[in-house]
Amino acid sequence: MSNVMSVREKIARRAAQEVKDGYYVNLGIGMPTLVANHLPTDIGVMLQSENGLLGIGPYPTAEQVDPDLINAGKETVTAVAGAVYFDSAESFGMIRGGHIDLAILGGMEVSAEGHLANWVIPGQMVKGMGGAMDLVHGAKRVVVIMEQLTKHGKPKILNACSLPLTGKNVVHRIITEQAVFDITEEGLKLVETAEGFTIEQIRAAVEPELLVDDNVRLNAY
């Protein structure tokens, strides 16, 4: 496994802890789809995709691949027992109606106020904004997972986003390979550190002033 993939898997494993028994969950395209492979087997969860599938399972093995069974990112998936299929209109009705307990989305930038930019970089081709703009407003809770720094070593957690926004004041929690942060009324709060990272290192890897929770969990994942 490459170092990049190991970081992505580490983040996805921690994000899977956000999923609780009985939840209806939407996993965004990219890294969030990896969360499905790390869900506990002893809880009942229904994964929803905005292209019209409720009951997504893990990625298929070579023998399980069905080219007609895909998620919103056009990746082949499996379906669990009891899965249902429907059109996009009904799917977005579920999202806009507040029936999604948790959305786990990727991010390019998040501000200390919980603003999210994750759908386009100006000047680069994009196939479409997908369902993110509906999800950030329709889901009951939004968790963003992403690597802590850009490829150029710049923070992705900023005082203010520079990219076009997906939504304002929509993010509740951020999970990276370094730490878990909550967006609070007081500001950006550190609630967990990952193994191998000190509070000082994490503080240097974000732009906003970082508050440390009184009960911060050190080396939590």
Catalytic residue positions, numbered: 50
**Tokens 């942060």 sit at which residue?**
181
Question: Angle CA(195)–CA(197)–CA(166) in degrees, nearest 5?
Answer: 100
Distance set, CA 43 to CA 16, 40, 47, 51, 54 (Å):
11, 6, 12, 24, 16
Sequence-distant (6+) residues with CB within 8 A of 22 are 43, 44, 45, 101
Phi first, then psi: give them for residue 91, nearest 5 degrees: -60, -45
Closest CA to 156 of 118, 196, 105: 118
Residues in the chain: 221
